[in-house]
Amino acid sequence: MSTNASRDEKITGTDVEGDETRISSPPTGADVVDRVPRIHAKTIILVFSVYLAYLAGGYNIVVAGAYGRDVGIELGGEAQSIWLLQSGTIIIAVLSPAISEAADLWGRKWLLVGLSVLGVIGCVVTGSASSMATALGGQILSGIACASQPLVHAIPSEVIPRQFRAFAQAGVNISIGLSAVIVLLAGGALTRNGNHAGFRVLFYINAGLFGAGALAVALLYNPPLRETQTAYTQRQKLERLDWIGLFLLSSGLTLFCMALVWSQNPYSWKDVQILAPFIIGCFLLLALAAYEVRGRKDGMFHHELFNRGRNFGLSIVCIFVEGMAFFAVNNYFAFETSTLYEHDALYVSLRFSICFFTFTVSTALTGFYCTWTKAVRFPVLSGFGLFTIFMVVMSTAEIGSKTALWGYPVLFGSGLGILLNTLMTAAQLGTPPELIASASGLIISTRSIGGSVALAIYNAIFTQGLSSNLASKVPAAMLPLGVPPSSIGQFTSAMTSGQTHGLTQIPGVTIEAAGAGANAVLQSFVIAFRYVWITGACFSFVAMIAAWLLIDPKEEFNTQIDAPAESEEALYTEKRLGSA
């Protein structure tokens, strides 16, 4: 094969080299109709080992979002705690497409194993950190490990018949749900009664999960060689990676998010610390778009991904918004609950875990529905409808809404289970089979980009809303009660940091004034959270319009296996239609 041969070229038949069978394209057309696929224990064991690897990555994302503030408080860097999650999402967004490309060239197995081992190291570093900088360094390593997510979405889908793809994605999502429940219930118990140091055990558990996933994949996943693994030299493989796109995406997205995260915390939009990274980041992202459209057809945004109709492009738009919505809930639901309704960390976590209990049931039912109806449009519409309703009811929450917030997570969890399953299924079925890893990589990257952008936007909205309302409401409530202006700032700082003991020892603060001031602070938080949920509701509603344009890919739900984990001869039972 020539050095400029495309990785998209298909070869038929099977080639045997030594003890390993090189993968080839599965039969297409009428032959597929006449063949009944056989799934052996080897493939089933492989799928479950990959699910275990994904459980660790999902755990890491949830623990960074739900317990990042505990890390910040314990290590003295609460203002930087958002970067525990933000750094990971940026890394996933940047590296997912590149890792997907590399997996086609070097194979999936050892990339997945190596990245999981890196996750072990990162979690140990964060768990044992004595400073916020060290914790962030560990999370960067864990973020690189989590960038293997596209491979976990791709492998189960490509080794079983297409008609069961929604079931495969349901299994991936169930592993996420289980990981989230483990994080939240264990985290609630470990950080209870102000024990912020309990985060360390959470990250050590995460290290163990990464290690178990790496071991399972190393022992159980032994796929046939792919054509692209043997067609190029090592130098040619390196040259095929989209290095320019990787640079533009990583630098542009990082600068863009830095500007939004720092806006009003601690800089104003007029400061050069905000304007410079924001403008440069926008320029680099625009340059990325131009380069991927005009400069390279087979880069991170491979043009063939968009040539089979509109479903893949629409899935990209929808998963971007889904990422924006998920990271709003992941970062702010527990925050709001602990600020306004619960002081017991276990009950905060239990409330949040309702999302993931519901999510696990929802994604399983969605797998059945999509397989039975061969439809994707109605589920996606329903998912974003549930997201919109959840955001709207959350925006109406008041200080007295403690009971209602036990039920609201059911709406979000149901929508999340529907969307993660259906959007990945629609995207994979809307692209060429040989690009399934690239398609999965771009979907995961886009979801993380949506999360990164949303976290920055929500942080700016929340910070601005909270600071402006605290500046007006607290003095208005306390000054008429005789509290001197010099004590207002001290009182506000104590309340927002959770240091509520000894408020009446602040000069001029009586019991009556403390009650009025505390209520003003809580009302300020209510309004700041409300702005976040309203923003999320707007995003989710717009996504419903895009979802309406999806097409149900009924013909794609067939018996074809895109990248079998077993030899061709073992895959099918011949069934000749019309024969004697």
257: left (phi over 0), alpha (psi -120 to 50) or beta: alpha
Q: Is the pLDDT of residue 509 over 80?
A: yes
Q: Is the pLDDT of residue 82 over 60?
A: yes
- Match 């178990």 to its residue by tokens: 212
User: pLDDT exceeding 90 applies to what percent of the chain?
Assistant: 23
Lowest mean pLDDT among 41-50, 210-219, 487-496: 41-50
Contact of 411 with 540, CB cutoff 8 Å: no
Q: What is the pLDDT of residue 51?
A: 83
Question: What is the residue extent of each domain of the chain?
Answer: 22-242+296-467+524-567, 243-295, 468-523
Q: Is the pLDDT of residue 265 over 90?
A: no
User: Under CATH, what is the fold of the domain 22-242+296-467+524-567?
Assistant: Growth Hormone; Chain: A; (1.20.1250)
pTM score > 0.95 for this model? Answer: no
Mean pLDDT of 58-76: 86
Angle between helices 243-262 and 436-478 (to 10 degrees): 10
Alpha helices by DSSP H, listed for 396-503, are 408-429, 436-478, 485-496
Per-residue pLDDT tens digits for 280-300: 988 998 998 899 888 888 777
Q: Is the pLDDT of residue 329 over 80?
A: yes
Contact of 348 with 402, CB cutoff 8 Å: no
Phi first, then psi: what are they for 221, rounded to 5°?
Answer: -105, 105
Radius of gyration of the CA atoms of the chain, in A: 25
Q: Is 342 helix (H, G, I), strand (E, B) or coil?
A: coil
User: Which uninterrupted H or E stretch holds 141?
Assistant: helix 132-146
Say how far apart CA 400 and CA 492 lie, in whole Å.
21
The distance from CA 545 to its chain's CA centroid, rounded to whole angstroms, is 22
Say how far apart CA 335 and CA 347 lie, in whole Å.
12
Say how far apart CA 284 and CA 475 lie, in whole Å.
44
Residue 10: band (very low, low, confident or very high) from pLDDT cuts 50, 70, 90: very low
Residue 563: band (very low, low, confident or very high) from pLDDT cuts 50, 70, 90: low
